[in-house]
Structure 1
Amino acid sequence: MTTELTYGEDAAAGYERAFAHVSTHFVPFLVRAARLALDARVLDIASGTGLAAEAALAAVGKGGHVTAADMSPAMAEKARARFAGTPNATVSIENGQSMSFPDESFDAVLCSLGLMFFPDPAQGLSEFRRVLRPGGWAAVSVPATLERSYNGKINRAVARYAPSLAETNARFFALGDEAPLRSLFEGAGFGDVSVATETHRFEFSSFDAYFGPFERGGGSTGQAFLTLAEEQRQAVREEMRREVGDTGGPIGIEVDIRIASGRR
């Protein structure tokens, strides 16, 4: 049984179906926090399929350049397809804690819903600062709490039957408190550190409209769900129906995201 929330080929293929609308909603806040300007050189690390990198391209214009980097070859391949024929975008496979880029390579660094998965987030932020030019900004987004997350409760329910997933799910929210997140930035040497909370309610016509993409294997959550036995999948589905208060009509999912930024 798979016991880790990973982004292999199947998870990458279903990521946008299950989760892209969540990432996309919060990306403009991330881009704003990074102070992107025309003609800037931007790194989007843990880029996934390139959603934040795409928004960064729009901000920097034709004179800028965006590098989308992810340690998952499957995710990087999806990003390459997104940016095929885009001359001012490149895609690379990189470990965010030990990147191949020279010092002071970028004007800004973005990390959309990725830093919490780093084994050592402090080292990741130190790397972000290393590749930034003086005066450049790094900005990250992370989930705030399990209770106000998009798919954390599904992960928790799956972990009841795959206990080794519990630690991974907890890590997803490890950076959600404002004070420790601010301290991480300051400890990495950033100045003018700011942490804000953005909130959104995602509306769905039905429970199936929300849960269906995960049930079909979308993203790492969906892939973990599919490893369960049929009766376990049914139990997770019923638990989630209760969690969201499904009565057969529309439902809403409240999500809080922290946006943190700092200047080199």
Structure 2
Amino acid sequence: MIRTYTECKFEGQPMAKELAYHDEAAVGYDRAFAHVSRHFLPFLLSAARVASGMKVLDIATGTGLAAAESLLVVGPTGHVVAADVSEAMVGQARQRLGAAANVTFAVEDGQSLSFADCSFDALTCSLGLMFFPDPSRGLSEFLRVLRPGGRAAASVATVPERTYNGRINTAMAKHLPAISEATARTFSLGDSARLRQLLEKAGFQNIEITSQAHRFKMPSFDAYFGPFERGGGSTGQAYLTLPQSVRDIVREEVQRNLGGTGGPVEIEVEYQFASGQRC
């Protein structure tokens, strides 16, 4: 993500500017990132112990990729709630999953959930926790809405060099100063010791921190960069704000960092998975 998820005021509405940003990020998100996210979702659901018949909350659902994966696991006797702070993201999730009978959608602030205590058997949060203004508050809410014995699991990015769009954001940061702060936010929970400390502080027990890496292969640089160049996700939306001359500079730098040939591209991506249980 390019901007931080922080409280602000815009046109008299708290957080309106940031919510508008998240809405923009919904544009083309799947085109740029879906194949990456899907690869790691089984690890997230495994960390949360999602199983048949469960009621699952997927917070920061984005376009509904993790919620869709949970639906396959919980089956017809289970239920999934797909929730996000962005109405546009929830709209994308609804388009993906709306035909399912056992899914509901909600616009929710992950730090102030509207659900009653002990509402869910499991909770997932895919690449969202690091954008909370106060991750500790979010984790406390995760714990509150879990039933005793339930687990919450969150995936987070580690370092820029091991994210799918990290090189693009690094190149753009030289021309869009706000991206430097946003990049710091993106990797703010990459340290496993800090993750464990936050989970412990929130009251979770039986904490597990694991990591998974995968090397993604694209047939050409254009196959990699093209979705971002067309405005895919928050990275692509930020790229489109640059003058054409700067876009060319960014593109050339990213291509050079990936070998410079324009041929096949390989990018290793690593996520950490942090989970804990309400006992």
The aligned residue for residue 27 of structure 1 is 41
Aligned-pair CA distance for 1:88: 0.4
Structure 2 unmatched runs, 5+: 5-20
Instruction: Measure the CA separation in 1 of the matches of 2:170 and 2:123.
Output: 31
Aligned residue type for 1:71: V
Instruction: Measure the CA separation in 1 of the matches of 2:84 and 2:260.
Output: 36
The aligned residue for residue 207 of structure 1 is 221
| 1:81 paired to 2:89 | no
The aligned residue for residue 259 of structure 1 is 273
Aligned-pair CA distance for 1:248: 3.0
| 1:98 paired to 2:98 | no
Superposed, 1:164-203 pairs within 5 Å as 164-203=178-217
CA contact (8 A) 1:206 1:251 kept: yes
CA contact (8 A) 2:59 2:82 kept: yes
The aligned residue for residue 52 of structure 1 is 66
Superposed, 1:6-17 pairs within 5 Å as 6-9=21-24, 11-17=25-31
Instruction: Measure the CA separation in 1 of the matches of 2:275 and 2:260.
Output: 37
Aligned residue type for 1:203: K
| 1:130 paired to 2:144 | yes
CA contact (8 A) 1:76 1:91 kept: yes
CA contact (8 A) 2:28 2:231 kept: yes
CA contact (8 A) 2:255 2:262 kept: no
The superposition leaves residues 85-120 of structure 1 with CA deviations (integer Å, 9 ceiling, x where unpaired) of 211001100000001000110000100011111111
TM-score computed with the length of structure 1 as normaliser? 0.97
Instruction: Measure the CA separation in 2 of the matches of 1:121 and 1:98.
Output: 12
Give the secondary-structure state (helix, strand or coil) at the position aligned to 2:133: coil
Q: CA RMSD in A?
A: 1.1
CA contact (8 A) 2:3 2:181 kept: no
Instruction: Measure the CA separation in 1 of the matches of 2:98 and 2:136.
Output: 33
Instruction: Measure the CA separation in 2 of the matches of 1:186 and 1:244.
Output: 39
CA contact (8 A) 1:57 1:65 kept: yes
Choose from 156, 161, 170 the match for 1:147.
Answer: 161
The superposition leaves residues 203-233 of structure 1 with CA deviations (integer Å, 9 ceiling, x where unpaired) of 0000110011001100000000000011110
| 1:65 paired to 2:79 | yes
| 1:241 paired to 2:255 | yes
Aligned-pair CA distance for 1:145: 0.8
The superposition leaves residues 188-208 of structure 1 with CA deviations (integer Å, 9 ceiling, x where unpaired) of 100010111100000000011
Give the secondary-structure state (helix, strand or coil) at the position aligned to 1:147: helix
Structure 1 unmatched runs, 5+: none
Give the secondary-structure state (helix, strand or coil) at the position aligned to 1:96: coil
Instruction: Measure the CA separation in 2 of the matches of 1:202 and 1:113.
Output: 18
| Deviating 4+ runs (over 6 angstroms) | none
TM-score computed with the length of structure 2 as normaliser? 0.91
Choose from 164, 168, 173 the match for 1:159.
Answer: 173
Give the secondary-structure state (helix, strand or coil) at the position aligned to 1:75: helix
